[in-house]
Structure 1
Amino acid sequence: MHMYKQIALSLPFLFCSQLSLADWINDSAQNVEAHTIKLRQHIHQHPELGNMEFKTSELVQKELKSYGIEVRKGYAKTGVIGVLKGAKPGPVMALRADMDALAIEEKTGLPFASKVKAMYQGKETHVMHGCGHDAHTAMLLGAAKALAANKDKISGTVVFVFQPAEEGGADVDNFTQGHLIGSRKMIADGALKNPKPEVIFGMHVMAGMPSGTISYKDGAILNSGDHLRIQVNGKQVHGSMPWLGRDPIYASSQMINNIQSLISRKADLSKGMGVVSIGSIQGGTAGNVIPEQVNMTGTIRSNSENIRQNILKDLPKMIEYNALANDVTAKVEIAPYAPVTMNDKILTKLMQPTLAKVVGDSKLHVLENNSSASEDFAYYGELMPSLFVFVGATPADQDMSKAAPNHNPLFIVDDATLKTGVESHVRFIMDYPKVAEQVQTVWKKIQVGLPPLS
């Protein structure tokens, strides 16, 4: 009886302790909210293209240093790593944000709208944060500020990953030099080696989702993405005498049609989906001349690594045989952008309560399907368990169906979104150590080919 009395007496203390912990996280997110908004609006007004985020990188470094966080640079040209050691022993955990903007002219009319122009692939262009990377950078800085002020409560070490060029580089050929930018270059340059994280978290703001909501799913959360280039060479001739030449336009039209059979007839659609789209086709200069050459560019997407690999294997062979059938030649080039972004199933399941703490059960949504877009965050997930979530960015009182989507000149991020992102980052760090052993045990079994539950 005495034992039960002790437990009963301790319950109010335990409850108060948990409440106190919750309060400091919520309070810290609120305390840094105004600063986070200020940072985001500044970054939005001064966007920089991929691989050219020099001022943004300097701002990130300055902010991290002011919080007392160790700063490391020299990764992927403009990338920044921050390292914060907690007061208690525990795992090394990474939080990632991307910093680059897009070659888009902003038309939002916001008081802090971008008027910046810069060079992209050798041509001057307008620049806009049209995908929310300004918010990602600001939210991670806000979380860094909050965590640094409470490092006595942290079990383990936090690695803050500020990555450039998620959208591609402005100064490189992204088709042939994609491995020299973004997450691949951060990894190659050793950004995640010392200390080496065992888990990584990321997020992306999304238009058409109300502020204060989070959406997630386990397994595939974003499609893979691969770039495609096809050059078809024939023999130029007068349009009235096609028999004297070799028509690359006609051959290209057959190739475009036949490529679709890689999905409709060869992909096992019970395992996922795939898309092959030709977005650009250029050939000829006059209506009465069959040209010598046609150039096509496109994209390959899938939410199944098996389907993706089969497309990458079969597409060049299909184009080769199409070319032979039309007595032309063809050159196929495929450049990887990112594999399928996968959320670790155990990590996702165990961190679900953490997401619910941020927004509440009613505003936490499980996605039925993954997003069709792609993210180079996927490369981090090949190295360690990862969790990537979507954060609503449209004011809750607006019609979600009319919100300008990401990558649109009218795209906006509601400032109210930022607190959700900051609090999510902080709670990831505070809650993961409690489930780290379970996550790592399953991860290690999978890496050596053992069943997760063996």
Structure 2
Amino acid sequence: MKKTSFAEDVCFKMQALVVALLILVTSTAGAQEASLEAQIRERSAAVEKQLIAWRRDIHQHPELGDQERRTSRLVAEHLKRLGVDVQTGVGRTGVVGILKGAKPGPVVGLRADMDALPVTEPEGLPFASKATAVYHGKEVSVMHACGHDAHTAMLMATAEILAGMKEQLPGTVMFIFQPAEEGSSVVMPGEGKSWGAKLMLEEGLFKNVKPDAVFAVHVMPGPSGEISWRTGATTASGDMLQISVHGRQGHGGMPWNTIDPIVTSAQVLTGLQTVVSRRANLALSPAVVTIGAIKGGTGPNVIPDRVDMSGTIRAYDESVREQVGQDVKLSAENIAESAGAKAEVSVIPIYATTINDAALAAKMEPIIRKAADGKVAVARLIGASEDFSYLAQEAPGLYLFLGVTPEDQDPLKVAPNHSPHFFVDERALVVGTRTMALMTAAFLTGQVMDVAK
């Protein structure tokens, strides 16, 4: 039998020690992960009743974009009670909270939008909105018809969970309560003024503390408690379209003495349908051109001198977005010219495409599956646009959808977001809170590797 040398014996023992340490580290990390998950589940369950109460309170007191003063106060007071550093008035009415863990580490941003819509809510819910507000000079009814009440409440609950665990967490959490995702009620597009996420960034949102990753959860029709997402382009770019057709006014009984902007506008509207069907490269990206408002004329026997149309352009690829905008302008101007009229066309960029970071999504997938108890799906393209896109341009972003359709209803048949009949199954909200908290803890504790590497 061959005897081993002293050096060989030392080498063998060192190798055994390394293996033992690796086993110990792995088991310790696994135990830490299990412990954090158990705590987050327990804390999520404990805060669920308050989460629903917050959501109902915010739902009953909705506020339009850049008017979210009551909601901001509610959020700021809650964060201060948790010991979170709070900054208010960011982007007009936004609130930012900074929670520092026990030691240095990564930074995670969590975003919730707070604003409601100029929609009249029907009676039925005991906490239905009866609120009114001024929207660009006009008094309107206000409703949380897109679920931002749920988003705000879920992030308030997430803050409570993570603040209670800060001694176990390294790094920093940035809670971003954003105003005016649906647009400002006091600033018009095209005036050169920003709102929402873009304004918050312009005012230095990420100047002193910049996230290594930023997350958001949005409620949508879908099986209650299901989390869905996709990589790459996730929400569409959104551009505002304004077209003014100028003719020559005259008597409705003598149209030969006029240049009729109403008939010309109808021809323009019809012609715009071919921009997508025949000009847009749909192999690269879906595209939508919608005219949502037409205004012109004062009486049945008067041909007016002008008709105004407004609408939206949506796409998921920047080259398609630019081409559609150019083709809309070319089509409208040339059709109007052929009728002896003139079309003035403005395409105003509103929101960029939201891009979900593929590496971040891949690393977060097992965490999300745990949070949703395996109830996950690949999200479909939906045509909506989001200013979370601006945050995701500054840091790797992941934008998730949370299904809130009751189990006895078909998600494909229920009222969609922005409908006065949009309904949120509140039993799903704890899943959204748990998901945000678990993703944050996993990222901060190193269970997810640095996505920038």
TM-score (norm: length of structure 2): 0.91
Structure 1 residue 193 and structure 2 residue 188: aligned?
A: no
**Residue from 99, 111, 120 that aligns with 2:114:** 99
Matches within 5 A, 1:34-45: 34-45=49-60
Partner of 1:58: 73
Structure-2 change in CA distance of 1:156 and 1:9 (3 Å): closer
Bigger drift between 305-314 and 294-303 goes to 305-314
Matches within 5 A, 1:22-421: 22-107=37-122, 109-173=124-188, 175-177=189-191, 179-207=193-221, 209-361=222-374, 363-367=375-379, 369-421=380-432
Please report how far the alpha carbon of residue 104 of structure 1 lies from its aligned counterpart in structure 2 after TM superposition.
1.4
**RMSD, aligned α-carbons:** 2.2
Matches of 2:133 and 2:347 in 1, distance apart?
28
**Count of residues in correspondence between the two structures:** 437
Structure 1 residue 432 and structure 2 residue 447: aligned?
A: no
Please report how far the alpha carbon of residue 11 of structure 1 lies from its aligned counterpart in structure 2 after TM superposition.
7.5
Deviations 1:85-107 (A, max 9, x none): 11132112110000011111212
Deviations 1:13-41 (A, max 9, x none): 66544322220111121122122111111
Please report how far the alpha carbon of residue 75 of structure 1 lies from its aligned counterpart in structure 2 after TM superposition.
1.2
Gaps of 5+ in 2: 1-11
Partner of 1:444: none
Task: Judge conservation of contact 1:99–1:137 (CA < 8 Å) in 2.
Answer: yes
Structure-2 change in CA distance of 1:68 and 1:247 (3 Å): same
Deviations 1:311-348 (A, max 9, x none): 22332233222222222122112222211111111111
Larger-Rg structure: 2
Please report how far the alpha carbon of residue 5 of structure 1 lies from its aligned counterpart in structure 2 after TM superposition.
7.9
Deviations 1:100-146 (A, max 9, x none): 11111212511111121222222222211111101100100100111
Task: Judge conservation of contact 1:108–1:409 (CA < 8 Å) in 2.
Answer: no
Partner of 2:5: none
Please report how far the alpha carbon of residue 309 of structure 1 lies from its aligned counterpart in structure 2 after TM superposition.
1.2
Bigger drift between 181-190 and 2-11 goes to 2-11
Gaps of 5+ in 1: 442-454
Bigger drift between 414-423 and 284-293 goes to 284-293
Matches of 1:439 and 1:44 in 2, distance apart?
36
Matches of 1:17 and 1:435 in 2, distance apart?
10
Matches of 1:211 and 1:39 in 2, distance apart?
19
Structure-2 change in CA distance of 1:374 and 1:12 (3 Å): closer
Task: Judge conservation of contact 2:107–2:212 (CA < 8 Å) in 1.
Answer: yes
Structure-2 change in CA distance of 1:258 and 1:200 (3 Å): same
Structure-2 change in CA distance of 1:14 and 1:308 (3 Å): closer
Structure-2 change in CA distance of 1:26 and 1:232 (3 Å): same
